[in-house]
Amino acid sequence: MKRPVFIISGVVIILILIAIWVYMLFFGSPKNADDTFADLNLGDTTDTSYIENTDTTDGEAVVDLSSPDRLRQLTTKPVIGFNEFVKDASSTPAILYVEAGTGHVFSIDLETGEESRLSGTTIPSSQEAEITPNGKYIMYRSGEGSGRTYLVGTISSTTNELSTSDLDESIISFSATNDNHFLYAVKTQNSTIGKSYNPEDKTSKTLFTLPFRDATIDWGSTASDSHFAYPKTTSKLESFLFKIDSTKISRLPIDGYGMSASGNNDLVIYSKQDNGEYKTFFYNISEDLVTKHVLTTIPEKCAFSTNNSELVICAQSTINNNLNIPDSWYSGETYFADSIWQTTLAGSATMLINTESESGRELDIVDIDLGVDDKNIYFLNKNDKTLWLYERVQSLSNPS
C-alpha cells in the first residue's frame, strides 16, 4: 500500500474513533447511577439510626388468641425487654416488647393478636431493655464489655421515631419502676452506687452506696421499696445478702456458695450450695425465720405476686446434685425444661403447667413477669429469647 493511502486511512480511523467518543460523552450517558458505577458489593453503608416502618406484619394477627391453648408463643424474634401495657380501665391489654439487636419496639394486642411496630429507630447491638408501665420510656443497653452504652428512649405518639438521650455512666444494672422511673446501679473504683432516674425531666438522684463493686441487684418495684444486693454469684465463692431500704442498708443472715436471691418487702427466696446439694429457701423478714422451699429452683426463675406478698411463681425442673450450679446454667452449659409452679410461704406448691408437654419444646424459663392482677404470666425462653404467655383463667389469688 502506498504511503499516502496508509496515512489517509489512519487519519480516517482516528476521526471515526474521536466521533464515537464524542457521541458517547454527550449523548450516551446511562439512564441511572447503577449503569455508571460498578457494584462493589460493599453491603448497606447507609446510616441506620432510623429505619422506616415497612414491616408488613403491622396490623396483622401474629398470635392466635382464639385457640383454647393457654400457653402461647408471642414472638419468633428474640426479645430483650417487655412489659404489659394497659392504657386505661376500658382498654384491652397489650404487651410491648423490644427486639434484640435492633432495639425496635413492637406492640401485640392481647385481644386480637395483631402486632404493630411502635419504633423503627435502630439502637445498634441492643442487648437489654426495660419498658416503663405507661409504655412511654425505654432504657437500653447496647454493645458488650468496654463498648457498652446506655440510653433512654421516648416513644412518640405521632411518629415511628424514638427520641433518645445518653446516660454516660458505668451502669451495671437497671430496672423500670411501677411509677414510670428507672433504677440503676453504677460501678465506681471501690463501690456500687444505686440511683433513680426520672425520664420526664432527665434527672437522677443517689439512693444508696454499697461497699463492693461487682454487685448483683434485685430491684424493688419503686425507689422506696426494699432492694437486695449480693456479690456476683459463683459456686466457687461464698456470698452474702444485703437488704436496702430508703433509710439504711442491712446485712441479712443469708450467705453461702453459689448464693443468689430475689425478694420483696416481706420475703426473700434464695438458693445456695449446702453440703454438696443445691437447695432453695424462704426467709421471712419480719419473723427472721428461714424455711426450706418445697421446690429446688434458681431464684432468677421466680417472681412475686403483686396481690399476695407470700405467693411466688417459679419455673422449675429437676436439678441434679451439681456443684457447678448455678454457674453452669449462667454459662449455658446446663439448661432446663421447666414447668411453672405457684408456691407459698406456708409450704404449698401447685403446678400450673408443664410447658414441655404443652408446647413440645424445652423451655428454659427466665424473666418471669406477672400482668395486671397477676392473671397473665409472661416469660422468655433462655434458649432463643422468644417471648411466651401463660394465660390463667383467674388471678393468682384465686384457684387456677
- Write the pLDDT tens digit of every residue in 132-176: 999 999 999 999 988 899 999 999 989 899 999 999 999 999 999
Residue 62, all three cell numbers: 401474629
- For all residues of the chain together, what is the average pLDDT? 87
Number of compact structural domains in the chain? 1
**Residue 98 in grid coordinates:** 423490644
- Answer yes or no: is 289 within a domain: yes
Tell me, yes or no, whether 339 lies in a domain: yes
Helix (H, G, I), strand (E, B) or coil at 256: strand
DSSP letter string, 349-390: EEEEEEHHHHHSS---EEEEEE-GGG-EEEEEETTT--EEEE
pTM: 0.83
User: 100 with 385: CB under 8 angstroms?
Assistant: yes
Domain residue limits at 381: 264-393
Q: DSSP letter string over 298-340?
A: -GGGEEE-SS-TTEEEEEE------TTTTHHHHHTSS----EE
**Does residue 306 register a pLDDT over 70?**
yes
Is position 86 within any domain? no
CATH code of the domain containing 315: 2.120.10.30
Neighbours of 65 (CB within 10 A): 17
For the chain, the first-to-last Cα distance in angstroms comes to 107
Instruction: Give a yes or no: residue 376 inside a domain.
Output: yes
3-state SS assignment for residue 7: helix
More confident residue, 301 or 309: 301
Indicate whether 303 belongs to any domain.
Answer: yes
Kindly state whether residue 355 falls inside one of the protein's structural domains. yes
Residue 83 has pLDDT above 90, yes or no: yes
SS3 category, 207: strand
Residue 296 resides in a domain:
yes
Residues 219 and 251: their CA atoms lie apart, in Å, by 16
- The answer to whether residue 384 sits within a structural domain is yes
Going from the C-alpha of 364 to that of each of 244, 368, 378, 385, 397, the distances in angstroms are 30, 11, 13, 10, 25
The pLDDT of residue 63 is 73
Which pLDDT score, from 0 to 100, does residue 270 have? 98
- Cell numbers placing 242: 444485703
Question: Which tens digit of pLDDT belongs to each residue from 339-361?
Answer: 999 999 988 999 999 999 999 99
